[in-house]
Amino acid sequence: MLYGPEFAADPESVYRRLRAYGPIAPVELDPGVPGMLVTDYDVALEIMRDQARFPRDARRWQEGIPPECPILPIMAYRPTCNLTDDPLRSRLRKAVTDTLDRIDPNALRTFVERSADRLIDRMSPQGEADLRTDYSFILPLLVFNELFGCPAELGDRMVDAIQEVLKWENSEEANMTLALCVLELMALKRENPGQDMTTWLMDHPAELTDEEVAHQIVMLVGAGSELAQNLIINTTRLLLSDERFAGDLSSGSLLVEDALEEVLWTDPPLANFGATYPVESFDFHGVRLPADQPVIISFAAANNDPLTRAEDRVGNRAHLAWGIGPHVCPAQGQARIIATVAIEKLLDGLPEMELAVPAEELTWRPGWIQRALSSLPVRFSVPPESAQAPPGARYPVTEPGGDTPTAPSATEGAPASQASTPHVPARWWRHLANWWTGNAD
């Protein structure tokens, strides 16, 4: 089985046992929910490139899944470019990639730097911190609030809901909360459009429906914020615990990029996903694949397939952490910028940083989709004459006369809107909420 603390603590031992079944192994995704897990690198490549035999549409599968099943909100069909097939996939992906292409990488880097500096300024007088709750969780949230033109309080609620969905506890309720947050953001941008991804998606020539826009936002914010925080934390853990890196944390960006690439090979933040659903049963590489049963790609297991693993991976980007083929991650460039800059700023801003507990005592959050630490406690030197950071806000706050940590998200221009939430027609709101939960009228 892929659920529970045992899998989270040592997934590699589970992958080793599953390889005895061949390139694809039967697994239990949740109590009573079977699936097939791909652990072979070459077979994973073949599946991800074959849309005809391995479609992404989950609707036939989810007909037999109880609505209270905690993995359903994560795996259920949504009209997003990563969970649909052509021709819809191509139209949605065009809107997403065009929107991402409008983000200026230099402006994004500047905003990440400013936000990181403010978070580090709040941590540095303490001499210790949990880098997950104090840094890696908050930083991507600030970035995505900016990119989507989302007020901080609304963004806070949105990412909290995503966190609850990924815990697989009360995920049905959290899924509805997430839907309402996204609809609220869309209503705000409909009345107050700006230079932000929400507005660009709504105005794209592909003419996405309201439902389609809402689901692309969830995909981008959910995957982006959760996986960015995991990539930051997993890479920082490696830098602080592996003797190949820990001896020289002052060597600059090349060191960070090498460590980040190592994590994408060994501990990718999205460990198992890319679910496909064969519409009929057939034999594939000596394994019988049942119809309408999930075939999950284990990016982590395939990356470390003993038959294809290379000992020297420096400069090698042939891992599967971003996916491959028609569903390859469209935002990997932005994710690299966020993670690399965030880690570089940590190493520069917290001198003599070290783990506060032995690396083997760190614990991982339950769940088979993400590879995520529960916490990353560290110690570091306190700068001389460092003022006590003010308690309170979850986000970096702007003192009177201070600089707001806001940089243009795409073109030189507007910060995220702080306008009050506009009135939303009840009928429009109810229609979209019903659509989200599969009860569209």
Quote the DSSP letter at residue 381: P
| 135: Cα separation from own chain's centroid | 16
**Dihedral sign computed on CA atoms, order 126, 128, 132, 133:** negative
Whether 277 and 55 have beta carbons less than 8 Å apart is answered as yes
Which of 91, 60, 58 is closest to 75 using CA atoms?
A: 58
Amino acid at 8: A
pLDDT for 254 equals 57
pLDDT for 311 equals 66
Buried b or exposed e, range 249-258, using 16+ CB within 10 angstroms? beeeeebbbb
Checking if the pLDDT of 112 tops 60, the result is: yes
Checking if the pLDDT of 194 tops 80, the result is: yes
Judging by DSSP bridges, how do beta strands 282-284 and 287-289 pair with one another?
Answer: antiparallel
Whether 158 and 178 have beta carbons less than 8 Å apart is answered as yes
pLDDT for 166 equals 62
Distances from the Cα of 141 to the Cαs of 14, 116, 320, 337, 422, in angstroms?
Answer: 32, 12, 25, 15, 22
Termini Cα distance of the chain: 37
Checking if the pLDDT of 150 tops 60, the result is: yes
Q: Output the average pLDDT for the chain.
A: 83
Copy the structure tokens of residue 382.
């306190």
In angstroms, the CA 293 to CA 312 distance is: 36
Residue 129 φ/ψ, nearest 5 degrees: -165, 160
> In degrees to the nearest 10, what's the CA dihedral of 276, 339, 269, 118?
-120
In angstroms, the CA 165 to CA 127 distance is: 33
pLDDT for 245 equals 74
Buried b or exposed e, range 415-433, using 16+ CB within 10 angstroms? bbbeeeeeebeeeeeebbe
pLDDT for 410 equals 35
Three-state DSSP class for 364?
Answer: strand
DSSP string of 385-422, one letter each residue: TPPPPPP--SSPP--TT---S---SSSS-PPPP-PPPP
Checking if the pLDDT of 418 tops 90, the result is: no
Distances from the Cα of 178 to the Cαs of 80, 154, 215, 221, 436, in angstroms?
Answer: 15, 10, 10, 11, 10
Average pLDDT over residues 408-428: 37
In angstroms, the CA 137 to CA 115 distance is: 12
pLDDT for 310 equals 65
Quote the DSSP letter at residue 270: B
pTM value > 0.85: no
Who wins on pLDDT, 312 or 20? 20
Average pLDDT over residues 317-323: 91
pLDDT for 169 equals 57
In angstroms, the CA 267 to CA 303 distance is: 9
Condensed to tens digits (0 to 9), the pLDDT of residues 122-135 reads: 999 999 999 999 99
Return the domain boundaries, the chain.
66-275+320-436
Whether 97 and 325 have beta carbons less than 8 Å apart is answered as no
Paired with 190 in beta bridges are: none
> In degrees to the nearest 10, what's the CA dihedral of 168, 173, 177, 178?
30
Three-state DSSP class for 112?
Answer: helix
Whether 350 and 123 have beta carbons less than 8 Å apart is answered as yes
Average pLDDT over residues 413-419: 34
Secondary-structure percent of the chain, ordered helix, strand, coil, rounded to 5: 50, 10, 40
**pLDDT band with cut points at 50, 70 and 90 for residue 379:** very high
Strand residue runs (E) in 268-385: 272-276, 282-284, 287-289, 295-298, 354-355, 377-379
Copy the structure tokens of residue 168.
């697989």
Q: Which CATH architecture has domain 66-275+320-436?
A: Orthogonal Bundle (1.10)
Whether 296 and 38 have beta carbons less than 8 Å apart is answered as yes
Cis peptide, bond prior to residue 87, ω within 30 of zero? yes
In angstroms, the CA 293 to CA 26 distance is: 10
Q: How many helices (H) and strands (E) does the chain have?
A: 18, 9
**pLDDT band with cut points at 50, 70 and 90 for residue 441:** very low
